[in-house]
Amino acid sequence: MKKVFSSLRSLLWCHWAMVRKKGSLILCGAFLFVAWNALLLLFLWGRPPIGRLGEVGGAEPGGREEWGVGAGRGSRVDLAGEVIRLAEEVESELETQKHLLKQIQSHRSLWERRKGVGKREMEAVKEGEVKSGGENEKGRSSSSPSPPPPKEKGLDKAEQDVGRIAQGSKVPPPVPESKPDDKQEERTAKEAERTAKEAEPSATTAAGPPPVVIPILVIACDRVTVKRSLDKLIQYRPSAELHPIIVSQDCGHAETSQVIGSYGDQVTHLKQPDIGDIRVRPEHRKFQGYYKISRHYRWALNQVFNVFSYSNVVIVEDDLEVAPDFFEYFRALYPILRSDPTLWCVSAWNDNGRDGLVDPGKAGLLYRTDFFPGLGWMLLKELWAELEPKWPSAFWDDWMRQPDQRRDRSCIRPEISRTITFGRKGVSLGQFFDQYLRYIKLNTEFVPFTKLDLSYLVRERYNERFEREVYGAPLVQVEELQQGGRLKGEGPFRVQYSSRDNFKVLARNLGVMDDLKSGVPRAGYRGVVSFLSRGRRIYLAPPPGWSHYDTSWS
């Protein structure tokens, strides 16, 4: 008897463990019901004969005394009583099994909801781990695991009952209850639904992805004034973990290397290994510096994306100073860049950002532009995977402005620049610096971009408003703008150009940059350049119906 019960308990325990692992509580109850009754029948059939009159012993210890052997007719009465007692025990166990199956059935919907919540929670946690895995490098934060969903009380009771049976313990007698009716079932379903709803928000909220890491890549060479750039970057960055600074140095200049090294673990210092001259055509020997810069950019970006495995990067050069909201600007615009395939960069620079050409009262104003601005810009790893195989050997910024690379995509730019350049000396020999760049206005007002709705920058919404504002503005002549007093109203006003030469004349008269790259004017969008003149908003625009840029205008 003990061996049979021991085998029964072992079998039930193993199956119970398996059921807990798979979560099939209904199948477990059915299996327990069938197995229990089958083993009871086998026990009764295989039991040794109960002692007869005059025989010694019986099936259980005590033999004669246990079964009343030798008592004549009384023994038959005891035998019948024992059979009745066994039948009553079997009936009691059957009632217990029936009660357990009812409990399992009543909690079935609750169990299924709980499984669904647990599955969604695991998927959310895995998604968070995948997103953070590519950026979980030096100096990055990690997310904490999600708490388990709250347990339902009724389900715990059912699990405890199954556990007691599997371990050979008796299940507490069922509490008398009335036969369930439709209203009771409805109340049970509503309770299960409410419990599931309470569990879902906690699982979803706890599994949110961690903040994206946005590294800053500083391209350096032989300027010891890189210290000015690094000082401002370190001063304004809100988190070293979310904004690691990588300084990639070309040229092998010892003094510049010492300046960078003095920042210790506040920055990561990389040194471009190939600093030798590049073989070029004789007529390009004077452009050797442009070839080296292009080579350096390629090497440094491969380090960021392929070695450090970041998903994005903001590139600045060693002669740029950043604004107080530089990091806030890029963090807010990262989701827009990620979600809108018609964008390919975010820039902190406005080519026409001179004092007097920008509105100082609209520091939060942002634009789309077809002209690649550079000078503090963000790109995604996916874009680098597209550009790197065909990266040019020189003049990489003008190459970026060609139609084959731009592919009708735009960048985001601010009204007021979030960077300024202080590097007059360089490979460009101060081109545009004295005339334009030294007068660029740097923003000093912190704009909480991450708390603003920037969805207006998505192309469909932006274009609709842009066309309405530009071509709804009154058309005026440049002479009227220069005289000022003849114009009525605060603006905006539209000045129209019809050819490349016409654009250049008007741009010079109005004080904006007049050069074009692959037909695109600086800071232009759909051929339109926006700026202030004498305090009024001006749109220097092509005729209505513009459809494409003319690359012969370069």
Under a CB-based contact definition with an 8 Å cutoff, are residues 329 and 413 in contact?
Answer: no
Q: Which residue is associated with the tokens 């992805």?
A: 209
What whole-number distance in Å separates Cα of residue 300 and Cα of residue 289?
16
User: Of 449, 438, 418, which Cα lies nearest the Cα of 236?
Assistant: 418
The DSSP H or E segment spanning 343 is: strand 343-347
What are phi and psi for residue 280, nearest 5 degrees? -135, 170
C-alpha dihedral, 303 to 309 to 310 to 313, nearest 10°: 20
Three-class DSSP category at 83: helix
Which amino acids are annotated catalytic? 397
C-alpha dihedral, 416 to 418 to 423 to 427, nearest 10°: -90
Interhelix angle for 73-106 vs 153-166, to 10°? 150
User: Of 418, 437, 464, 459, which Cα lies nearest the Cα of 216?
Assistant: 418
How many Cβ atoms from other residues are within 10 Å of residue 173's Cβ?
A: 10
Please measure the distance between the N-terminal and C-terminal CA atoms of the chain and give it in whole angstroms. Answer: 100
In three state form, how does the secondary structure of 134-157 look?
CCCCCCCCCCCCCCCCCCCHHHHH
Those residues with Cβ within 8 angstroms of residue 54's Cβ, 6 or more apart along the chain or in another chain: 69, 70
